[in-house]
Amino acid sequence: MAEKDAQNGYSITTISPDISPIMSSEGELQPQMPSGDSSEEDLRGKPDEIQDSGQTQQAPQKNKFRHKSHKSSHKSQSRETYAAIDLGTNNCRLLIVEPQGNSFKVIDSFSRIVRLGDGLESSNKLSADAMQRTIDALRVCATKIRRHRVRWVRCVATEACRKAENGEAFINQIEKTTRLRFEIIGGKDEAELAAIGCGALFDRQFPHAIVFDIGGGSTEITCLSLKKGRYELQDMISLPLGVVRLSEKYDGENISREIYAQIRDEAEKMIRAFAEKQTFYDDNFSDVQLIGTSGTVTTLAAIHKGLQKYNRNVVDGTVMKRDEVIAVIQSLMNMSHEERQNNNCIGRERADLVLSGCAVLEAIIRAWPLENLKIADRGIREGILLRLIRKTRRRQKMRRVKKVKGTS
DSSP string spanning 312-371?
HHHHTT-EEEHHHHHHHHHHHHHS-HHHHHH-TTT-TTTTTTHHHHHHHHHHHHHHS--S
Same domain, 145 and 224: no
Listed in sequence order, the residues at least 6 apart from 179 whose beta carbon sits closer than 8 Å to its beta carbon are: 65, 67, 142
C-alpha pair distances (Å), 359 with each of 44, 188, 333, 373: 20, 23, 11, 15
C-beta separation of 382 from 56 below 8 A? yes
Same domain, 154 and 221: no
Q: How far apart are CA 142 and CA 179, in angstroms?
A: 8
Low-confidence ranges of the chain (pLDDT < 50): 1-43, 45-77
Q: Determine the pLDDT at residue 102.
A: 54
- Domain contains 390: yes
First to last CA, the chain: 59
The full DSSP string for 217-236 is S-EEEEEEEEETTEEEEEEE
- Domain contains 193: no
Same domain, 46 and 149: yes
Q: How far apart are CA 58 and CA 272, in angstroms?
A: 32
Same domain, 139 and 165: yes
- Domain contains 197: no
- For residue 141, the domain's CATH number is 3.30.420.40
Nearest to 111 by CA among 350, 328, 273, 325: 350
Q: Determine the pLDDT at residue 103.
A: 58
Same domain, 139 and 280: no
- Domain contains 119: yes
Same domain, 49 and 152: yes
180-236: per-residue pLDDT in tens? 999 999 999 999 999 999 988 999 999 999 999 999 999 999 999 999 888 999 999
Same domain, 269 and 180: no
- Domain contains 107: yes
- Domain contains 249: yes
Neighbours of 181 (CB within 10 A): 17
Residue type, 368: W
Q: What is the DSSP letter of 185?
A: P
Q: Determine the pLDDT at residue 319.
A: 97
User: 3-class SS at 306?
Assistant: coil
Same domain, 12 and 84: yes
Nearest to 43 by CA among 366, 348, 368: 348
- Domain contains 408: no
- For residue 241, the domain's CATH number is 3.30.420.150
How many domains are there within the chain?
2
Q: Determine the pLDDT at residue 134.
A: 98
Is the pTM higher than 0.85? no
Same domain, 166 and 39: yes
C-beta separation of 93 from 381 below 8 A? yes
Q: Determine the pLDDT at residue 408.
A: 60
Q: Which helix (H) or strand (E) holds 393?
A: helix 380-407
Same domain, 183 and 212: no
Which domain does 234 fall in, by range?
Answer: 204-376
- Domain contains 402: no
> What are the DSSP E strand ranges found in 33-177?
57-58, 82-87, 91-100, 103-113, 152-157
The full DSSP string for 5-64 is HHHTTT-S---B--SSEEEESSS--EEE---GGG--B--TT-SS--B-----EE--GGG-
Same domain, 27 and 133: yes
Same domain, 174 and 122: yes
The full DSSP string for 218-285 is -EEEEEEEEETTEEEEEEEEEES--HHHHHHHHTGGG--HHHHHHHHHHHHHHHHHHHTT--SS-TT-
